[in-house]
A and B are shown apart, each in its own frame.
Chain A
Amino acid sequence: MNPVIQGLEALVDPTVLLGMALGIGIGMLVGTFPGVTAAMAVALASGFTLTLAPVEGLAVLLSIYVGANFGDRVPAILINTPGTPAAISTTFDGYPMAKQGKAGLALVISGLATAVAILLSMVVFAVAAVPIASFALNFGPFEFFALVVFGLTIMISISSKSLVKGILAGLFGLFLATVGHDPITPDARFTFGLDVLADKLDFIAVIIGLFGIAELFDQMLSHSKTKLKPVSSLGRWWPNKSEYRQMGKPLALGSTIGTIVGIVPAAGGDIAGLIGWDRAKRISKHPEKFGKGSIEGVVAADAASASTLGGALTTTLALGIPGDSVLAVMLGSMIIWGLQPGPQLFVSNPDLVVSITAIMVIATLVSLALNLVRMRGLVKVLDLPAHFLWASILVFCVIGTYATTNNISTVVVMLVAGVVGVVMKRTGFPAGPVVLGLLLGPLAEANLRRAMLIDGPSGFLTNPIAAIILTLAILAFIGTLVGRIRQNRRSATVLAEAARELNTPGAETTSTMNDARTVRTPQKED
């Protein structure tokens, strides 16, 4: 029988459909709770699905994977706390949009971008799984380190106001990543004999602390009853024609970046989202709107992080190398079912590959529909008084963190990260680069040391892929630096002119005053 028909027929089984419904529900639920990750949910679900047939089990696990990618955007937009690390970049423009009374629009745009990006990445998976994945298989230590350097340059462009503070924040993240065992030798570093530091700092605990708890603490510090624009008005839901048009370019760019990043093993939606957001900002006609509630920013970030699903699935199934942490867990389940992911899977079980593709597509479409309907009820959370929200968010962050390790020490790490985060926020150090440094640190250190031992520094010049990626990283850094210098000069000129003309009464004053007010208006809305 034709493997396509055979693969699709397998989905007609009621158990498979039930598994998908359950998986989507669980996925969206865990995605919405900050700190409860898809990897954790898939790991928990793996225990229950091992007795099922492979297609039935995969229906549950893959649906959780997809559902979580929709759910994690909701808290990122509404409370500035990414449900999973993949939604970090959604907070950059999603939360400012919510603060401007456009939460409904941000949620719909985010859902649409996520769905389209996953579907596009699945087309790539279906068409070019083996050839694309084989390219990433050629990556060695030089290429990996170059890729990390490229990722780290993003931290500079996402850092705010002070370039130096942004880099320092990134270095802080890289330093935090050295806590625990050395990646090459068994030596312990900065553990101080504490069990909680023996392995490494829990990434989820730090991210919840820096993003969720720090934001909560800052709100507690600065909360007053009179606000300029509180996050309470959701505004309209559906984009207009002009806004749909704005979505096109960042959607295409984000989906492309996300699919490519997803193919690279271990590089997930968090990195893709940051790169996608940054690249979209660079090509945008209105880069100044990024970080202040840009539709393009939301679309690019979500499209990039969501489209890693297809890329990661490509690497996992075609090469047997997990594309991200969720698929690493899923890989274990597949092996227990007697399936060996890799090129052979496409030969021995082509129908299963078709089933997997169909599950991903159906789960995406159902998740999108549920996402749009369910959000109307979920956004009522915003109407809650601050005392309910603060207390509830604090407890959910505690539980979410605890659930990752079942160890109360992890909660302490999260609370400490929260205190550090609020200090950083009040002193102008961005949290994004810290998280990125923490995430990429082990990869950077291990690959750089291996590369230096293998071939020395000259290896970066003799490996063409590494050389190209490093050149791109250097160009990105210089571009950011030059852009910031120009921006500072422009701002200084405008302010100087405004100040000079303020002191000159006459007809020209009115226009200059209007200019001066225009400069301040966006700040007022922040």
Chain B
Amino acid sequence: MSTAVETPAHSVAERLAEEDLREAHQDSDEVARHHAAPSRILERAVATSVLGLSILGYFGARSVPVANETGGLDPRWWPANICLVAIALSAILLVVSFRSPPFDRDDLEPISEGGWFRLFSTLLLSTAFVVAWNLTGNFVVPCALLLATLVWVYGARGWKTLALFPVVTSGCIYLLFHTLLKVPL
């Protein structure tokens, strides 16, 4: 009798547990899709790089040319000490990266398809814009070209976006900054 009563109750509990588990896995998958994954390799690479940069910084600080060699609290003292502390801390970071689980990265979204292309294209185009602006001394034309190319790279199509937007925006910026705020563009 008692078994007959307990069995349905137990199976309901089991079903609830299974549903919760399934829901938890779904939640977990959903979260994983929107968050960057923790990476032990990344943590080790970061710690090693920071350690290397700190050592480089220390030797750089020690080799700063000083007009009067007074020793003690000279211009090398402060940056060299900063680097020494950084060396110690990055060594700790390196040890932690081998001994502890990697830091979660739930505040970051994973890199999406086309993400690297957008980033490197933007960097390349921005560099080209700076060079063109510097060489020609003209702001408006390189700026309009930059805007047109950028929106094309980001996936926009249509003449309004590719022609009207860059021309109007460049013109407005020129009027606002060059004419009103007297920034020599």
Residues of B contacting A425 with CB < 8 Å? 108
Residues of A contacting B78 with CB < 8 Å? 178, 445, 448-449
Residues of A contacting B123 with CB < 8 Å? 415, 419
Residues of B contacting A394 with CB < 8 Å? 122, 126, 150
Most buried by A among B24, B60, B79, B110: B79
A223 touches B151 (CB 8 A): no
The answer to whether A167 has its CB under 8 Å from any CB of chain B is yes
Q: Which of A178, A190, A506 contacts B17 (CB 8 A)?
A: A506
A189 touches B50 (CB 8 A): no
B150 touches A390 (CB 8 A): yes
Q: How far is the CA of A265 from the CA of B103 in the complex (A)?
A: 39
The answer to whether B182 has its CB under 8 Å from any CB of chain A is yes
Q: How far is the CA of A391 from the CA of B169 in the complex (A)?
A: 10
The answer to whether B175 has its CB under 8 Å from any CB of chain A is no
Identify which of A71-79, A135-143, A198-206, A510-518 touches chain B.
A510-518
Identify which of A55-63, A101-109, A401-409, A465-473 touches chain B.
A401-409
1/0 contact string of B66-87 vs chain A (CB within 8 Å): 1110000111011100110110
A168 touches B183 (CB 8 A): no
Residues of B contacting A174 with CB < 8 Å? 82
| A175-B82, A524-B34 given; A387·B77 CB < 8 A | no
| A168-B90, A391-B154, A428-B103 given; A524·B67 CB < 8 A | no
A426 touches B79 (CB 8 A): no
The answer to whether A187 has its CB under 8 Å from any CB of chain B is yes
Q: How far is the CA of A168 from the CA of B85 in the complex (A)?
A: 9
Residues of A contacting B96 with CB < 8 Å? 164
1/0 contact string of A143-173 vs chain B (CB within 8 Å): 0000000000000000011101101100110
B64 touches A189 (CB 8 A): yes
1/0 contact string of B113-133 vs chain A (CB within 8 Å): 101101100110011011001
A221 touches B111 (CB 8 A): yes
The answer to whether B65 has its CB under 8 Å from any CB of chain A is yes
B119 touches A221 (CB 8 A): yes
The answer to whether A228 has its CB under 8 Å from any CB of chain B is yes
Q: What's the nearest-Cβ distance from chain A to residue B17, in Å?
A: 4
Most buried by A among B57, B60, B107, B146: B107
Q: How far is the CA of A164 from the CA of B47 in the complex (A)?
A: 11
The A interface is mostly helix, strand or loop, or mixed, namely helix
Residues of B contacting A520 with CB < 8 Å? 27-28, 31
Q: How far is the CA of A217 from the CA of B150 in the complex (A)?
A: 13
Residues of B contacting A182 with CB < 8 Å? 75
A453 touches B73 (CB 8 A): yes
Q: What's the nearest-Cβ distance from chain A to residue B56, in Å?
A: 11
B133 touches A217 (CB 8 A): no
A391 touches B151 (CB 8 A): yes
Residues of A contacting B165 with CB < 8 Å? 388, 391
A387 touches B151 (CB 8 A): yes
Q: How far is the CA of A524 from the CA of B30 in the complex (A)?
A: 9
Give 10 nearest A-B pairs by CB, closest first: A387-B154, A222-B109, A182-B75, A221-B115, A513-B20, A220-B118, A391-B150, A509-B17, A387-B156, A224-B112
What are 22 A-B residue pairs whose CB atoms fall within 8 Å in the complex?
Answer: A160-B107, A164-B89, A164-B96, A165-B93, A171-B86, A185-B68, A186-B67, A222-B36, A222-B109, A387-B155, A388-B165, A390-B150, A391-B154, A392-B147, A399-B185, A403-B177, A406-B184, A415-B123, A425-B108, A445-B78, A502-B21, A520-B28
**Chain A residues packing against B (C-beta within 8 Å):** 30, 36, 41, 44, 160-162, 164-165, 167-168, 171-172, 174-175, 178, 182, 184-190, 217-218, 220-224, 227-228, 385-388, 390-392, 394-396, 398-399, 402-403, 406, 408, 411-412, 415, 419, 422, 425-428, 445, 448-449, 452-453, 502, 505-507, 509-510, 513, 516-517, 520, 523-524, 526
**Chain B residues packing against A (C-beta within 8 Å):** 13-14, 16-18, 20-21, 23-24, 27-28, 30-31, 34-36, 42, 46, 50, 57, 60-61, 64-68, 73-75, 77-79, 82-83, 85-86, 89-90, 92-93, 96, 103-113, 115-116, 118-119, 122-123, 126-127, 129-130, 133-134, 143, 146-147, 150-151, 154-156, 161, 165, 169, 173, 177, 181-185
